[in-house]
Amino acid sequence: MKKIIALLMALMMLGAVVALAEETPSWMPTWDRDADVVVVGFGPAGAMAARAAYENGVSTLIVEKANKEFAGGSAPTSMGFIKPYSVEEIFDSAQGRLTKEEAQRLYDTENEQLDWMVANGLKITNSTSEGYGRGFYDVVVKAIEGMGIEVLYETPAVQLIADPITSEVYGVKCQQADGSDLYVRANKGVVLATGGYAANKDLMTRFHFADMIDYALAGASTQTGDGLLMAAKIGAGLDGVSNQQIEWYGYSYKTATDEMGTAILHMGPSLGPDSRIFVNTKGERFMDEEMYIVHSKCEMPFLAYDGTFPVYNGYFNLPMYVIFDQAMLDAGPVGPRDYWCGFASMYNVYNWSEDNQAEVERGWIVKADTIDELVEKLAAQSGNAPIDAENLKKTIAAYNEGCANGTDAFGRSEFYLDPIGDGPYYAAQILPTIVYTIGGLQGGPNGETLDWEGNPIPRLYHAGDVGQPTKILIQALQGALATGRIAGEACSQLESH
Ligand SMILES: Cc1cc2nc3c(=O)[nH]c(=O)nc-3n(C[C@H](O)[C@H](O)[C@H](O)COP(=O)(O)OP(=O)(O)OC[C@H]3O[C@@H](n4cnc5c(N)ncnc54)[C@H](O)[C@@H]3O)c2cc1C
């Protein structure tokens, strides 16, 4: 009898071991933490996803790449401009990606989230958040902290843990500040809310530029497309990664930007003469310098490209330079002073001097009495081939003649046609500057992340700039709030696995 019992027990133990082996596939890690809804990224999209989970009574955990001071990605660097759009505008701008009902739901959800933000202390005056993007994001942080939702700062997600056959997502692998791994199981699912990829020069080049170009980024350096890359690794499809889903911002001083590690904008004076032109290495103008490119998604003259064999010379207007005169320098700061947008201003990285002298002394702007000297100094500063000085003289003369006649070869408005005076001259290499990207992961109406065939990847959702599921082209903060809410809502309704 004893032998039979021992045999039965041995068989039971063997069965348990076999069952355990079946239940724990080799790719499944030992989990360190778990939550029903795991949110990756603590911007406005991630915050609203976590809030939805919390309000649905399921557990949630946010993992955030940056430390507390620099968390929030684009949001705290933004201007906090809020402009609610109509249902029709949302529908139209989605370019067939939304039904009328989905546009209505997005509109309603945006308004609910904004009302909630206002109830939590957000003040909006003239469509602008009090405290700009920092003020907007502070409200998000305080409200989420007030709910007791846990945020693990300095814990970037580096990999989605998914079934290699079905792609069903089980959790995320994160890296902790001390370099160790943290495996977080998601009982219901994962919401990726990591923001855009504008800081990832490799992705920007692959998606948007025929050749690598030097550009500056107005937002945060955390925007490296991590969510997009993690999801792509398990089969997510992409959508809207065309030139029409990156937004331009303006131009930045290259030397200053390189030195400060973030975009230091070039600005024309708000008052006073606009005696400046942009030129390429040939010393030729190529655009209306006053063309408003902030938030523009259009083709840009500085990206004009020649790929004709055997002429091929790529982006023939890059590198580009600004040339201006003493009158413009004297008229006021030609960089951001007491400004309210962009990483450099919102994090007090640099405040431009009132009279531009500090920047001339730092060598961010080159000064010279003659065009020949200017061209020489500019080449020494930039390390580029010198601008053709004779052509530049002709270009300035032609531009000045146009100013006298009230006409311009590039259609610049007469209001801005101020002639460039005799020396001293000022100049700098300037970089095209990007605000953010909004395309990325392909999404369904509930924030489901879709594969290339349009099938949802089980238990994977995303929201915000990692790929606004609806590709709304005309709104960002509200879109992030609303898509975060929708994705968090859908994810928290799932049965746990
Ligand atoms: C200069 C500037 C001005 C703007 N002005 C406006 C404006 O006035 N109005 C407007 O509507 N929109 C504006 N925008 C756009 C707006 O800020 C964004 O669309 C919005 O913040 C997107 O929200 P999000 O939550 O998707 O991403 P983000 O706000 O970028 O947040 C993403 C978060 O994910 C984190 N993260 C990234 N990778 C990981 C990882 N691997 N693991 C964990 N966490 C990660 C980041 O650190 C960050 O905290 C502006 C943007 C910029 C850059």
Alpha-carbon span 174 to 2, nearest angstrom: 50
What backbone phi and psi angles, to 5 degrees, belong to 36? -65, -50
Instruction: Cis check for the bond before 156: say yes or no (omega within 30 of 0).
Output: no
CA of 43 to the centre of ligand 1 (A): 6
Residue 154: per-residue pLDDT: 98
* pLDDT reading at 460 higher than 80: yes
**Nearest of 162, 177, 169, 247 to residue 496 by alpha carbon:** 169
Q: State the virtual CA torsion across 370, 376, 380, 381 in degrees, nearest 10.
A: 40
**CB distance 76 to ligand 1 below 6 Å:** no
What is the residue with the minimal CA distance to atom 9 of ligand 1? 81
What digits encode the pLDDT tens for the residues 224-273?
Answer: 999 999 999 999 999 988 877 788 999 999 999 999 999 999 998 777 89
Using only the alpha carbons of the chain, give its radius of gyration.
Answer: 27
Average pLDDT, integer, range 375-382: 95
* Residue 235, number of CB atoms within 10 A of its CB: 16
Residue range(s) of every CATH 3.90.700.10 domain in the chain: 245-435
Question: DSSP class of residue 443?
Answer: B
Alpha-carbon span 169 to 478, nearest angstrom: 28
CA of 15 to the centre of ligand 1 (A): 50
Residue type, 252: S
The tokens of 485 are what?
A: 């809410």
Average pLDDT, integer, range 454-481: 86
Average pLDDT, integer, range 398-404: 98
What digits encode the pLDDT tens for the residues 154-191?
Answer: 999 999 999 999 999 999 999 999 999 999 999 999 99
What backbone phi and psi angles, to 5 degrees, belong to 485? -60, -45
* pLDDT reading at 471 higher than 50: yes
Residue 17: per-residue pLDDT: 46
* Test site for ligand 1: of 39, 40, 78, 134, most ligand atoms within 8 A of the Cβ: 78
What is the residue with the minimal CA distance to atom 6 of ligand 1? 78
CA pseudo-torsion sign 272, 275, 281, 285: positive
* pLDDT reading at 310 higher than 50: yes
* pLDDT reading at 133 higher than 80: yes
Span 33-197+221-233+439-492: which CATH code? 3.50.50.60
What is the residue with the minimal CA distance to atom 21 of ligand 1? 75
Mean pLDDT of the chain: 92
Residue range(s) of every CATH 3.50.50.60 domain in the chain: 33-197+221-233+439-492
What backbone phi and psi angles, to 5 degrees, belong to 451? -85, -175
**CB distance 465 to ligand 1 below 6 Å:** yes
**CB distance 79 to ligand 1 below 6 Å:** yes
* Residue 248, number of CB atoms within 10 A of its CB: 22
What digits encode the pLDDT tens for the residues 317-328?
Answer: 999 999 999 999
**CB distance 467 to ligand 1 below 6 Å:** no
pTM greater than 0.75: yes
- Confidence tier at 211 by pLDDT (50, 70, 90): confident
**CB distance 436 to ligand 1 below 6 Å:** yes
In sequence order, the 6+-apart residues with CB closer than 8 A to the CB of 14 are none
Contact between residue 262 and residue 222 where contact means Cβ atoms under 8 Å apart: no
* pLDDT reading at 459 higher than 70: yes
Alpha-carbon span 448 to 351, nearest angstrom: 42
Instruction: Look up tokens 């890296």; give the residue.
Output: 175
**CB distance 480 to ligand 1 below 6 Å:** yes
* pLDDT reading at 377 higher than 50: yes
With 0-12 / 13-18 / 19 or more C-beta atoms within 10 angstroms meaning exposed / middle / buried, residue 125 is exposed
Average pLDDT, integer, range 20-31: 82
> How many residues in the chain?
497
The CATH architecture one would assign to domain 245-435 is Alpha-Beta Complex (3.90)
**CB distance 78 to ligand 1 below 6 Å:** yes
Weakest mean pLDDT among 4-18, 230-244, 273-287, 425-439: 4-18
What is the residue with the minimal CA distance to atom 38 of ligand 1? 194
